[in-house]
Amino acid sequence: MDSTIYLIGPRGAGKTTVGKALSLTLNYRFIDTDDWITQKYQQTISLMVQDKGWDFFRQIESEALIQVSQPNQVISTGGGMILAEKNRAYMKSSGVIIYLQASLETLVERLSQDPNEAQRPSLTGKTLVSEMNDVLAKREPLYLQCADIIVDAGLSINEIIEVILAKLMK
């Protein structure tokens, strides 16, 4: 298997944590698109959005997706990567898309423990519960539409990796 593996899901689903573990297991390179953007532009995502707006960020996020995509890589995408139809189509045509599906309760618990607001800016200014509920309502259909594999992100890291490997080998 030489494909690119894309991890999608809302912030807090565990894309980076799972991505690092999966890449080690498969001996693939790991890329986090948000980290890549932050390094390239020498600015946090929060400041970028504050200075230039969400439309600018979404555009460079789409460009980053194409620039980092290579075979034998696990790519952790930003939670909103799937908002652009061109991104969903690109990932679908160039690799395997794994959706780390998490409940609202799991996401809120994880984000409360590690808010990392520089990398995870508020999308709406609402409370975390209200914002994540809105995000899931809007994005869940898109995550499900483009996913090749759906994994319960509430499982342990080892269990998630086992499920992914079993489904990849089918």
Annotated binding residues, written as ranges, equal 12-17, 34, 58, 79, 120, 139
Is there a contact between 103 and 169 (Cβ–Cβ < 8 Å)?
Answer: no
Known binding-site residue numbers for Mg(2+): 16
Is there a contact between 138 and 82 (Cβ–Cβ < 8 Å)?
Answer: no
Known binding-site residue numbers for ATP: 12-17, 120
Known binding-site residue numbers for substrate: 34, 58, 79, 139
Q: Which of 11, 152, 170 is nearest to 76 (CA)?
A: 11
Torsion of CA 120, 108, 11, 55, to 10 degrees: -60
**98 exposure class (CB count in 10 Å sphere: 0-12, 13-18, 19+):** buried
